[in-house]
Amino acid sequence: MADAAKTTEKTSSYIGNMNTKKFHYEWCSSVGQMKESNKYYYTGTRDEMIAKGYVPCQKCNP
């Protein structure tokens, strides 16, 4: 795994929905409605989530 040292962007904990391909902050209300089996836990940058094919949630706007 490449270290985060090469980027200046802050990392956060995100939760992606493997079903809808959206991603959220942990506190987003949509996360509570998500099935545990659909959750993809990821700690990294927003750009990395997008690179994985996830789209930012419009509610929590990660």
Chain contacts with Zn ion (rule: CB under 5 A): 24, 28, 30, 57, 59-60
Q: Which is nearer to Zn ion, 11 or 29 (CB)?
A: 29
H/E segment holding residue 30: helix 29-32
H/E segment holding residue 23: strand 22-25
Rounded to a whole number of angstroms, the minimum distance from the CB of residue 5 to Zn ion is 29
Q: Which is nearer to Zn ion, 7 or 21 (CB)?
A: 21
Q: Which is nearer to Zn ion, 7 or 11 (CB)?
A: 11
Among 45, 33, 39, 35, smallest CA distance to 9 is for: 45
